[in-house]
């Protein structure tokens, strides 16, 4: 195991499960001081114990700017810096166009869009040249998937943020990129697919590589984008989807 992140401070929102948790584990084993957030304290505590290596969990909701500020206040006290932000927290809710209401729109955009803005914005005073921001997008931001137009639009906004922020932060030497997973074997998607076996079969057939991704496969891409190995990569979207978006 390499130690690319020795003594680096890494922030991962939505780090108590799925892709966020897998990524936190990899950062921790490579020497990082890892801070994760999550809305449910019990799940957050379990995740911190699973990550080990001195990981810290800060309970909060990224849609609440005060919670995000509290996270960075603690990091300021502990380390006075942030080297990597993986803005991973997000929710999925589907709804056909004729069923979209204020609650559906606001809940999706508050977490997936507003939460991402403040996760990055409030980290900036602690970041310096050479730092990296990785945003968690989705192939949904590039595909016209039916019955989830609000979710698709929220992920298209993530892609747009990377372009804009790359230009805004270039003088500060902060690189911004997007990792965009396809269907990934998380606890949430597994519980759904177990109840809909025909959906899983169709989903696998739609992927050129013939299967769902694994959280660790996305996590390894995040670490590449956050590391010095991608020092000349900025504003880029890396699809980790088995070929769905490309073919």
pLDDT at 91 over 90: yes
pLDDT in the model for residue 221: 98
47-74 tens-digit pLDDT: 999 999 999 999 999 999 999 999 999 9
C-alpha span between 222 and 30 (Å, rounded): 13
Nearest to 109 by CA among 156, 168, 59, 147: 156
The residues annotated as belonging to the active site are 151
CB atoms inside a 10 Å sphere around CB 230: 18
Tokens of 38: 């999550």
User: Strands across the sheet with 33-38, in order?
Assistant: 56-59, 33-38, 9-12, 84-87, 132-136, 175-181, 237-240
pLDDT above 90: residue 132: yes
Residue 1 pLDDT > 70: no
- Give the three-state DSSP class for 177: strand
Give percent of the chain with pLDDT exceeding 70.
Answer: 100
Share above pLDDT 90 across residues of the chain, in percent, rounded to a whole number: 90
Q: Is the pLDDT of residue 126 over 80?
A: yes
pTM: 0.95
3-state class (DSSP) for residue 31: coil
Which of 37-41, 139-143, 174-178, 193-197 comes out lowest in average pLDDT? 193-197
The confidence band for 99, taking pLDDT boundaries of 50, 70 and 90, is very high
> Can you tell me whether residue 185 is helix, strand or coil?
coil
What domains can be seen in the chain, in order of their start residue? 9-239 (3.40.50.720)
């Amino acid at each position: 195991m390499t130690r690319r992140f020795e003594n680096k401070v890494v922030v991962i929102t939505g780090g108590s499960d799925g892709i966020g948790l897998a990524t936190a584990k990899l950062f921790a084993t490579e020497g990082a001081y890892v801070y994760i957030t999550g809305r449910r304290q019990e799940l957050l505590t379990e995740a911190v114990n699973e990550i080990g290596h001195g990981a810290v969990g800060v309970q909060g909701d990224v849609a609440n700017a005060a919670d995000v500020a509290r996270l960075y206040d603690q990091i300021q006290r502990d380390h006075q810096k942030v080297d990597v932000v993986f803005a991973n927290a997000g929710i999925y809710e589907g709804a056909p166009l004729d069923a979209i209401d204020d609650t559906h729109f606001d809940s999706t955009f508050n977490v997936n869009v507003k939460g991402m803005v403040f996760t990055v914005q409030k980290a900036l005073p602690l970041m310096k040249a050479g730092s990296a921001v990785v945003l968690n997008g989705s192939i949904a931001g590039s595909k016209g998937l039916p019955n989830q137009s609000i979710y698709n639009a929220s992920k298209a906004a993530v892609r747009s943020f990377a372009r804009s922020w790359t230009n805004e932060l270039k003088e500060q030497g902060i690189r911004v990129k997007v990792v965009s997973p396809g269907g990934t074997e998380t606890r949430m998607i597994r519980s759904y697919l177990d109840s809909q076996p025909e959906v899983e079969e169709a989903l696998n057939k739609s992927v050129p590589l013939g299967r769902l991704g694994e959280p660790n496969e996305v996590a390894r891409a995040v670490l590449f984008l956050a590391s010095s190995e991608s020092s000349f990569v900025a504003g880029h979207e890396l699809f980790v989807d088995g070929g769905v978006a490309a073919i």
